[in-house]
Structure 1
């Protein structure tokens, strides 16, 4: 009970009357102790009890009466200070956990003295939703064309966006039928009548529509006709939200013209590109095969030149050996010639001895003749010595002739060996030059082989790239085909 009002029967009757109200009413005394809660507020608190306990663990509907209103506040000091100075109704919104409540606190007085407070509770969910809906509607109204109709199609109101798109003033459309915005043939058709019948049945309708603005101007809209229901579930009105897409439709019409004019050329160009890419790919493959063949031939040539180079090295070694042997033979032949010349001196000595012997034999013969019979035997010996001396002279002459022949032959051999040495020296120089050239050719050929291998790899890369280009052209053709189909759909 309120302090000092226990005997106030009029106030007691008023408190009793609160139980019959649908309003959510809570009464607290001057010390903010809860002394009464009508059934509506009790139901509200029970419905929110589980959520409130998440933030207020001590909260319990069963123990609210008799507890202090501070239970709803984490920091009650501020609340008490504000209520102490309260002299007129005060509106506030509090949030407890996920719940939001709108409160109206009204001080109660008896003969000028405050005796308590009446607190009206309301779940703020619907109010906040309505505020959100209003904000959304304002946003829609700001960005889209909006017009309202009765269920019979009479214009109730229209926003500035709609009037601007259609070219009318508000007073020119309010009270007029929706049919003023459609073509006469469609307005008289069964489809138009069915359009409004479906709306009156509550069926939502959305599409692109052609409408007629002021002075017969064609206006295209992307619109949605929305039946609005009243509390009884009956369609009360129709609201249309629309966007002016006239410019887009005109662009699509131009696109259709471009499609009709240019897609044939594009298809031809892509076909030509595809054919050329295919031919290029084929040529690249053939070039790659040819380059690989040349590269293989270059490798074989490198191997052949390597073998030639080895043969030239061996030939050079053999030529050097032959040159050395010819030089050695030349030296031996010179020794032979020198020996022959030396034998000439010996032959001369023999001839001189033979002459002396012959002279001695002559003297012996003369002395034997002088001796007479006693000298006959000596004369015979002298005669034989003379014969031997003559034979030795003849033999010496023959030896001299042979030695001359040997010397002449030796001279000829020396001359021939010199010529052979010069010829082998020339061959040796040619072999050396040839071997050097072969080595250079081997190095160059190896470089050519490596280059051809690189070229083969490069051509293979080009071939792969051309195939990728061909694939890309094919994909572009497919994409253009899809674009063409999509564009055709857009411009229908």
Structure 2
């Protein structure tokens, strides 16, 4: 390292402390004019992992990746250095272990006392961390540039620049927008509003804004952006420009507007159906009220009918008992008539030749015969009546069963009516809840379409 120190002492009046500071801060390499390594310091060896004897006598190219050596820039750089031009570059450097680091290098040609170039000294600083951070940041910037519409404004809203995504979305060329105000993209009414003026005042005061913006393209069509307006400050905290990063959401907004229209049509149909349900519920309630009134009257009538049936059955039972007694009496009369006929026959045998007595016996026989005929007819009529009464009694009994069943069914009908009325009330409540839900859904659809 004595040669480096000697060069510094020959050309600059510096102290040992300053030389030590430079030696500790920079990775220093001496090259001849062809790029061959003449000397290196400790900082360089720590940076690259090489020992001094591994690099002295080697060419500068051993530290560079292959892709840099094949380009014309490398030879041009050494040509400039041999011509006495100073160079400052940031290049990748390959260490002994094969790792790639980034070094910010300053190449300074060195002249002797006669002004002739004798060597070149390189001062290097490891900037790998900074380079990677910048590369990462640049990658993010490139990603934003390729995916976002970007517009730059001054603090007053004058357009400074715009990228191709923004211009393509709006239909303008760059020359048509640079120097114009942001208001050229918004409607005239909004551009004159106090809200718009307040928006730009807040940006000029350093406040960021994130919002959806409706622009109007060159052809007048609506273009929607999800935009972030970010003020950029100088070292004094003053706003020097405003960057708008935006994403074109026109298709999404169009879909939402179409969805809103579809929902409105469907909501109208649902409203119509709900109104129809309400009308039918009202009609059903009226019919149930009428049915209730008829059922109450039927209950009263059935009660009377049950009572009448019971009373009729009781009277029929008494009538049948009397009829049975009469029938039994007629039977007894038939028996008596037969005995009387037998007695008449014996009287006729005993009368002999007495014509007057025979005549009286004949009259008696005629009366007995007529009485037997009348009794026989009465017996037949009574028997037929009894048969009919039996049928009527059976019918009345069955009618009583039917009437009882009817009463039970009426109770069932009452229960069903009550359940149906409850169901109608539930339907009415459901339709009210449905209407509330439809209203809230409408509100959501309106918000989505904004």
> The TM-score by the shorter chain falls in which range?
0.5 to 0.7
SS of the residue 2:207 aligns to: coil
Residues 206 and 303 (structure 1 numbering): CA distance in 2 closer, same or farther, change over 3 Å?
A: farther
- Name 1:88's counterpart in structure 2: 97
Select the residue among 354, 368, 381 that pairs with 1:423.
381
- Name 2:71's counterpart in structure 1: none
- Name 1:285's counterpart in structure 2: 289
- Cα deviation for residue 188 of structure 1 reads 6.7
What is the CA–CA distance in structure 1 between the aligned matches of 2:319 and 2:195, rounded to whole Å? Answer: 108
What is the CA–CA distance in structure 2 between the aligned matches of 1:452 and 1:478, rounded to whole Å? Answer: 39
CA contact (8 A) 1:207 1:224 kept: yes
- Name 2:105's counterpart in structure 1: none
SS of the residue 1:214 aligns to: coil
CA contact (8 A) 1:222 1:245 kept: no
Select the residue among 317, 323, 340 that pairs with 1:319.
323
Instruction: Check if 1:239 corresponds to 2:248.
Output: no
Q: Deviations over 1:283-332 (max 9, x none)?
A: 32222331353255346535543554465456445534543442233113
Q: How does 1:355-374 map to 2 (within 5 A)?
A: none
Q: How does 1:149-298 map to 2 (within 5 A)?
A: 149-155=153-159, 158=162, 161-169=165-173, 173=177, 177-183=181-187, 192-227=196-231, 237-245=242-250, 248=253, 274=278, 277-295=281-299, 297-298=301-302
Residues 189 and 311 (structure 1 numbering): CA distance in 2 closer, same or farther, change over 3 Å?
A: closer
Q: How does 1:370-389 map to 2 (within 5 A)?
A: none
What is the CA–CA distance in structure 2 between the aligned matches of 1:446 and 1:247, rounded to whole Å? Answer: 71
CA contact (8 A) 1:255 1:491 kept: yes
Residues 185 and 415 (structure 1 numbering): CA distance in 2 closer, same or farther, change over 3 Å?
A: closer
What is the CA–CA distance in structure 2 between the aligned matches of 1:17 and 1:429, rounded to whole Å? Answer: 142
Residues 197 and 441 (structure 1 numbering): CA distance in 2 closer, same or farther, change over 3 Å?
A: same
Number of residue-to-residue matches in the alignment: 332
What is the CA–CA distance in structure 2 between the aligned matches of 1:289 and 1:191, rounded to whole Å? Answer: 67
- Cα deviation for residue 421 of structure 1 reads 0.5
What is the CA–CA distance in structure 1 between the aligned matches of 2:139 and 2:319, rounded to whole Å? Answer: 109
What is the CA–CA distance in structure 2 between the aligned matches of 1:136 and 1:316, rounded to whole Å? Answer: 116
Q: How does 1:60-71 map to 2 (within 5 A)?
A: none
CA contact (8 A) 1:305 1:442 kept: yes
5+ residue gaps in structure 1?
Answer: 1-12, 19-26, 31-85, 92-119, 353-396
Q: Deviations over 1:341-396 (max 9, x none)?
A: 33554566xx99xxxxxxxxxxxxxxxxxxxxxxxxxxxxxxxxxxxxxxxxxxxx
Q: How does 1:75-114 map to 2 (within 5 A)?
A: 87-88=96-97, 90=99
- Cα deviation for residue 240 of structure 1 reads 3.3
What is the CA–CA distance in structure 1 between the aligned matches of 2:219 and 2:268, rounded to whole Å? Answer: 39
- RMSD of Structure 2 on Structure 1 (CA): 5.6
What is the CA–CA distance in structure 2 between the aligned matches of 1:411 and 1:458, rounded to whole Å? Answer: 69
Select the residue among 319, 328, 332 that pairs with 1:328.
332
- Tell me which of the two structures has the higher relative contact order, counting C-alpha pairs closer than 8 angstroms and 6 or more residues apart: 1
Residues 318 and 121 (structure 1 numbering): CA distance in 2 closer, same or farther, change over 3 Å?
A: farther
CA contact (8 A) 2:216 2:223 kept: yes
CA contact (8 A) 1:147 1:159 kept: yes
Residues 421 and 281 (structure 1 numbering): CA distance in 2 closer, same or farther, change over 3 Å?
A: same
- Name 2:305's counterpart in structure 1: 301
Q: How does 1:129-140 map to 2 (within 5 A)?
A: 138=143
CA contact (8 A) 1:295 1:456 kept: no
What is the CA–CA distance in structure 2 between the aligned matches of 1:325 and 1:413, rounded to whole Å? Answer: 14
CA contact (8 A) 1:292 1:453 kept: no
- Cα deviation for residue 198 of structure 1 reads 1.0
- Cα deviation for residue 234 of structure 1 reads 6.5
Residues 227 and 305 (structure 1 numbering): CA distance in 2 closer, same or farther, change over 3 Å?
A: farther
What is the CA–CA distance in structure 1 between the aligned matches of 2:285 and 2:217, rounded to whole Å? Answer: 59
5+ residue gaps in structure 2?
Answer: 1-19, 26-45, 50-94, 101-126
SS of the residue 2:206 aligns to: coil
Instruction: Check if 1:341 corresponds to 2:345.
Output: yes
SS of the residue 2:200 aligns to: helix
- Name 2:120's counterpart in structure 1: none
Residues 309 and 227 (structure 1 numbering): CA distance in 2 closer, same or farther, change over 3 Å?
A: farther
